[in-house]
């Protein structure tokens, strides 16, 4: 008897579709770059108000419109990936933790901006703050520092974080000895780090303390 599509297959298909969309966006971004790097907002008229003769106005307009449409499709696709991750997170993390990590990595790529199109990343908001990092811990090995604002912890981000530090703990336990993608805000910098929750000489699997005022929890 034929069986329905599995969660893994659905995620694989969505991620493949995302890759194809980004390739199309990049291709149209190259058109903008070839036209004096005009981007999505550069002027198409000269100082005297006439159409610029150093760019192909028709090409630029078409590329911009195509990018806008593809960008909307990309946003919807990312929502589908995120919703599927949220719905089946426990199941996937138990049977295929690497798939969760790959999907999280794809979302991180999306937040860096889409290649060639000069598209700004979406708003990034911290979900937890690091207020302690133990020496020689997995957290220190990953490069975390006291004061770091974590905006993404694996599949947990500002869109699905409910203010429950248990969500971070669940990812930590499910991803033990696996790479967890982090997006960290440090001052005015956004950093992508890899954290591997694992047993070490100290307490917990991370060796750091995270705070969500007025609560805190150590893992």
| pTM of the predicted structure, to 2 decimals | 0.52
What is the pLDDT of the chain when averaged over all its residues?
Answer: 81
Q: 128-211 belongs to which CATH class? A: mainly beta
Domain map of the chain by residue range?
Answer: 7-108, 128-211
145: tokens are: 């520092």
- 126 burial level (CB within 10 Å; 0-12, 13-18, 19+): middle
| Chain centroid offset of residue 1 CA | 38
- pLDDT beyond 90 at 7: no
Which of 200, 201, 218, 199 is closest to 209 using CA atoms?
218
Query: What's the pLDDT score for residue 215?
Result: 47
Mean pLDDT of 124-131: 89
Handedness of CA 90, 15, 150, 207 (dihedral sign): positive
- pLDDT beyond 70 at 4: no
Q: Which residues contact 124 (CB under 8 A, 6 or more apart)?
A: 111, 151, 158, 183, 185, 190
- pLDDT beyond 70 at 107: no
pLDDT tens-digit readout, 26-65: 999 999 999 988 888 889 998 889 999 999 999 999 999 9
Query: What's the pLDDT score for residue 91?
Result: 55
Enter the DSSP assignment of 9.
H
Query: What's the pLDDT score for residue 121?
Result: 47
Query: What's the pLDDT score for residue 150?
Result: 93
Percent of the chain surpassing pLDDT 70: 78
94: tokens are: 């138990």
């Amino acid at each position: 008897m034929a069986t329905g599509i599995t969660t893994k297959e659905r995620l694989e298909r969505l991620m493949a579709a995302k890759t194809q969309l980004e390739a199309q966006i990049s291709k149209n971004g190259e058109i903008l770059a070839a036209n004096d790097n005009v981007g999505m907002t550069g002027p198409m008229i000269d100082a005297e108000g006439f159409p610029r003769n150093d760019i192909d106005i028709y090409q630029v307009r078409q590329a911009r419109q195509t990018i806008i449409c593809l960008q909307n499709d990309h946003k919807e696709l990312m929502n589908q990936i995120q919703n599927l991750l949220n719905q089946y997170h426990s199941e996937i993390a138990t049977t295929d933790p690497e798939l969760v990590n790959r999907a999280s990595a794809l979302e991180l790529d999306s937040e860096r901006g889409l290649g060639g199109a000069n598209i700004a990343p979406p708003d990034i908001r911290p979900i937890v703050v690091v207020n302690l990092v133990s020496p020689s811990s997995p957290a220190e090995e990953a490069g975390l520092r006291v004061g770091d604002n974590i905006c993404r912890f694996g599949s947990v981000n500002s869109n699905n974080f409910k203010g429950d530090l248990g969500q971070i703990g669940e990812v930590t336990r499910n991803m033990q000895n696996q790479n967890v993608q982090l997006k960290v805000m440090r001052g005015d910098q956004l950093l992508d780090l890899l954290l591997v929750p694992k047993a070490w000489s100290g307490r917990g699997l991370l060796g750091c303390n995270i705070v969500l005022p007025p609560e805190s929890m150590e893992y």
